[in-house]
């Protein structure tokens, strides 16, 4: 009379494959620099209709402050906005500009789009990668050097096509960058 229950290894269940290892979720926690939380609160006031709209600004602020968005960041921001962590994880995994792991401290973005490509940006990017000793790119297309100093990214048009090839190093913009200029520029950042 009993209900026959099948047991077959091919039907064995697998653990969910997560965007980050669960074990990391409560690993090394960052401590907030002074004023960080006040800044968050201030950003939230920009969205009086729905706090949820502050999700992206808070994610940007977190990434600017801590370099990447950790599980702690996702959970903290969700709690701050009265959301569930999955609501924030959805955004973090959608927008390519949000990173879930650290990258090099000095961030070099080389434009890869038409004008710059014609003006030699492929060679330029290779040059930077070689000089910075960066390894293969991660899921976001960013290659970081092993000691964590440099991160080189080949990006789409950064809107200065007339002065190709162009690059950005951190927040600074540099036009008509030759290989020689590239070396000079690298020397200026440390």
Partner 1 sequence: MKNPFNHDHPPADTPLVNVQIDGVWTQMPKGLNAVEAARRVGKFIPHYCYHPKLAIVGNCRMCLIETGGPKMDASRAPVLDASGKPEINWVPRPAIGCATNLTEGMAIRTDSPLVQECRRGVMEFLLINHPLDCPICDQAGECKLQEYSVQYGNDHSRFVEEKVKKPKRVDIGERIVLDDERCIMCSRCIRFAKDTVHDDVLGFTERGSHTTLAVHPGQRFDNNYSLNTVDICPVGALTSKDFRFQMRVWFLKETKGICTNCATGCNTIIGSRESTLYRMTPRENEAVNSEWMCDQGRLGFHYIHDPKRLTQPIARHGPETTPLAWSEIIPQVAERLRQFVPEQIGIVASGRLTNEEAFLVAEIRRVLGGDSVLTDYVPRFGRADGILRSADLNPNTHGVTLMGLSNGGASLADLRRSIDAGQIRALVVLHEDLTAEAGWDGATLQKLDLLVTLGLLQNPTTDRADFILPGASFAEKRGSMINGAGRLQRLNRAIPSPGQAWDDWQILLRLKEALGGGNGLHTIEEVFKAMAAQVPAFAGLTLSRIGDLGIELEAAMPKETATE
Q: Which helix (H) or strand (E) holds 107?
A: strand 106-111
Whichever of 90 and 126 has its CB closer to partner 1, that residue is 90
H/E stretch holding 28:
none
* Sequence-separated (6 or more) residues with CB below 8 Å from residue 24: 70, 71
Scanning residues 24 to 43, which ones bind partner 1 (CB under 8 A)?
Answer: 25
Of 56, 67, 156, which Cα lies nearest the Cα of 107?
A: 67
- Residue 14 interacting entry, from partner 1, ligand FES, none, C-beta within 5 to 8 Å by type: partner 1
When asked if residue 16 is in the footprint of partner 1 (CB under 8 A), the reply is yes
Q: What x-and-dash track marks residues 87-126 binding ligand FES by CB under 6 A? A: ------------------------x-xxxx----------
Distances (CA, A) of 184 to 5, 48, 113, 177, 180: 71, 47, 23, 10, 6
Per CB under 8 A, residues contacting partner 1 are: 1-3, 5-6, 8, 11-22, 25, 71, 84-87, 89-90, 93-94
Per CB under 6 A, residues contacting ligand FES are: 111, 113-116, 157-161, 164, 166
């Amino acid at each position: 009379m009993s209900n026959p229950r099948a047991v077959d290894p091919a039907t064995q269940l697998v653990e969910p494959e997560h965007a980050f290892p669960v074990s990391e979720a409560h690993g090394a926690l960052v401590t907030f620099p002074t004023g960080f939380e006040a800044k968050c609160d201030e950003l939230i006031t920009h969205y009086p209709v729905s706090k949820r709209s502050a999700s992206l600004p808070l994610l940007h602020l977190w990434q600017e402050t801590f370099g990447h968005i950790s599980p702690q960041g996702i959970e903290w921001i969700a709690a701050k906005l009265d959301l569930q962590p999955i609501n924030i994880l959805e955004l973090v995994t959608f927008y390519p500009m949000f990173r879930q792991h650290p990258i090099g401290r000095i961030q070099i973005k080389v434009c890869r789009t038409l004008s710059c490509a014609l003006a030699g940006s492929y060679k330029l990017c290779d040059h930077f990668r070689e000089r910075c000793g960066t390894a293969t790119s991660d899921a976001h297309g960013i290659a970081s050097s092993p000691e964590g100093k440099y991160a080189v990214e080949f990006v789409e048009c950064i809107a200065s096509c007339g002065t190709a090839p162009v690059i950005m190093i951190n927040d600074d913009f540099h036009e008509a960058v030759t290989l020689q200029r590239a070396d000079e520029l690298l020397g200026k950042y440390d």
